[in-house]
Structure 1
């Protein structure tokens, strides 16, 4: 015998299936006569609600995804990734959510398709994309799929998705002003020239604008986001003869490499040249000398990204595009500059 459904009950009682649902949920708006007619139909058809299906419909999805775009899974030595991922996990766990991690690439759409499938199957509630280089095409795709998504460290120029970023331009301007206030007039910035990520671009733009505003000599050197790149850049500057009096590095790893090169070459920091970093990772306090830098509140950014994501998942934030939230950064003067 075929099991009676809610729609069978509705047809038998001559009401809508929503009315039957309201009766089952004891909604106060149902008239007593209608309630009795529905209850009689339930008895006549021996209808029993499917408890498993009801539980599945009403269950709260408790898994979030921390998706790294352009990062390899084996980059475990990256302090940026480790700090952000740890803060994301801690905030999500504190709010009763589990975490899964994904590593996405632009040339591998299967990773994005897997996120879409997991969301449709209700095994994933939403995603924070950790990336400074996520293409706008993928932003549009995530928005069209209607997956609750928040961008971390990458603003959406077209307004499809909400984001949490930091004031990199202001941070670099403050760092340039700090060097100038100490009499530095020839500044070099070491930052990847081929990195099209928003963070790298904004750091470069902030440096150039501030150096021009202070009317000091300035130049850019390329490299990678690594200590080795900072070490090589410092050697190139010092051994080339045209020596600056301040070397600003795009991140603290580069700054640590520059300090190592200075020690190896016998250059006194900050007496002969000032050196600074950017990010304020923990090790910057323990370099020799300790590294002047700019504190970027990555942990707070990650916590805020989770809160914004949960607000979208729980319907407290309507629409696709609450605006970018940009957190301030802080100059941290230390011994190196």
Structure 2
């Protein structure tokens, strides 16, 4: 199958099967001249990094209702944006989001640059996001390669080099299919194919519009692509979370601006380390000398390590805490919300 035939088949499939996404201008509207809003494209791409479409969509709708333009977002307080981001994880993305929004508002009059080069110059905008915004919002012929596209390329060409070493090869294959014709639709067609047909497990090869060209399918085991290098075992850490209550309020702290969960409101916590904390150590690290009760443990998994948090609870006061009503704790990062729920639902 020639590249021209492959492109024609996949674009025809996309015209008929494109996903209806909150941030997307559909193929019919796109061909009628409707352009996607660069702000909405950029925001969705940042949210979708390491996050699924169903999980990201309500956040996208909440953000665009509250901050309908990039200038609205740029003018907001850091803490408000970080709280609205809570639950999406990878909080460095939220800090980069604000930095980029403020650069667009301040240095570009609230208008996103319309080239990959200009987009790459914005803070927090990596190669992938710049290519995605350039293609989808500005119809530039950019090479947009996310995990879905990597999987499609690995199977289409039966690439044997395992990830991550195989990424340049996969990107080169994808680049060979980029054309000036409908580059935004092409990028989204590849993404949709990977998300709905060329799935990580149990690919629906019988429904694939380009199955005839797929070298991975010809091997009889397309699901084994992309090849992957065995991951190192994820390290495990231990810590203590302190649920400090004062009537119907819970004491929170603001985490340092840099590092994991930087700038987020959180429960007071000990350091997170390889060795478990003894009772004496846990009480010594508490934010105040109170009658702390051990209420058990919660487990949480981050990208690079897993965590066991012992949950201690006490009634009283402590210096330097930020008091929050219990009903407002949903804005906490998921690890701390999990610990707070564990501490507040058990009797002491």
Name the TM-score, length of structure 1 as normaliser.
Answer: 0.25
Q: Which has the larger radius of gyration?
A: 1
TM-score for both structures, normalised by structure 2 = 0.24
